[in-house]
Amino acid sequence: MNIPETKAFDKCIDMFIEWKNRDHSEQSKQLIRDSKFDQLYLGPCKRELRKIIMFMDEQERDKLIIVTIKELLGTVDKGYVKNRRKTRSDYEDSGYYAAMTLDEYLIREDRAYAYSDLMSQFQLYLFIDIWHICREYKIQIEKILKDLKIDLNDYFTVDARRFYTGNKGFPKPEIKIRTEYRPFFENTKTQLVPSPQIQAKEAEQLKPDYEKELAEIRNSENKFWKGLPMEQVVKHFEVMTIRKNKEGMPYLTPEQLVSFLKKGFLNGTDQPVQKINCTRGEKGL
């Protein structure tokens, strides 16, 4: 059987391959361009596969799915998946401090964690759609994976058992992308292509509150190291809102600094973990 032309699927695969071969600064820019992933890639690919499979017999469907799965899984960064699985529990338990030493693989491969995670999720979403299509057309994808000796745990950061229990817990990919990742794209777009006017306006609006909060922190007791006045702590870390990384972003925004100081020195348990905005390859401050 000649495999029918799959333009939408091929476009998806080409995007995964191209992204994998870029350095992380270019990866981030490409992700901004492709931020409507569900509209540009996922939706067309899903519709195309359904349309093709509809007119195939059982044997032809199996062959198409085998080729499709092999091509998709061939684009997965298995090193990232292995690294992510290995460090996930430590990262979730230790937060910021583990994050600074977490990604030896990503540093070596010049990968940015956030973007690698997004791409891994996008590959997962496409696979979920393929899985649903197989169920819909009674294609025995479990048998296909077994015959190909494919362990899904080598390719995705989620537990493979979730695929074999009726897909419970998997959200519809398009919905998850819109609700969870659209804000990430918008925030990243602002960081990558900053508007001086907007930044200046926002900084001016935030300045009074920021200065007030810093003044309160300076006069607070250092819960972490009682012999060190908070005034000195603030002075030491405030420089991180001025110094910038290789992408022109401050190592800590004013809001991040306030949160960082409260959590680290004032026992602010309600504060989120703050990660210093280091780019890949930067050894430290």
According to the 3-state scheme, what is the secondary structure of 239-263? HHHCCECCCCCECCCHHHHHHHHHH
The reported pLDDT for the residue numbered 98 is: 41
In sequence order, the β-bridge partners of residue 250 are: 244
246 in Cβ contact with 282 (< 8 Å):
yes
Q: Is 103 helix (H, G, I), strand (E, B) or coil?
A: coil
pLDDT digits (tens, 9 = 90+) for 60-80: 999 999 999 999 999 998 888
Integer distance in angstroms from the first to the last C-alpha of the chain?
59
The reported pLDDT for the residue numbered 192 is: 42
| HSE-CB for 227 with a 13 A CA cutoff | 0
CA angle 249, 253, 255 (to 5 degrees): 160
The reported pLDDT for the residue numbered 203 is: 53
59 in Cβ contact with 48 (< 8 Å):
no
Residue 203: partners with Cβ closer than 8 Å, 6 or more residues away: 254
Residue 26: partners with Cβ closer than 8 Å, 6 or more residues away: none
pLDDT digits (tens, 9 = 90+) for 213-267: 888 999 999 888 888 889 998 888 888 888 877 766 777 878 788 888 888 888 8
Distance CA 98, CA 107 (A): 14
The residue behind tokens 């007119």 is: 55
- DSSP conformation class of 178: I
Domain boundaries, the chain: 7-191, 195-265
Q: Which pTM value belongs to this model?
A: 0.55
Cα-to-chain-centroid distance, residue 176: 13
Can you read off the two tokens belonging to residue 230?
A: 């908070």
Collect the ranges in the chain with pLDDT lower than 50: 91, 93-102, 167-169, 174, 178, 184-185, 188-199, 284-285
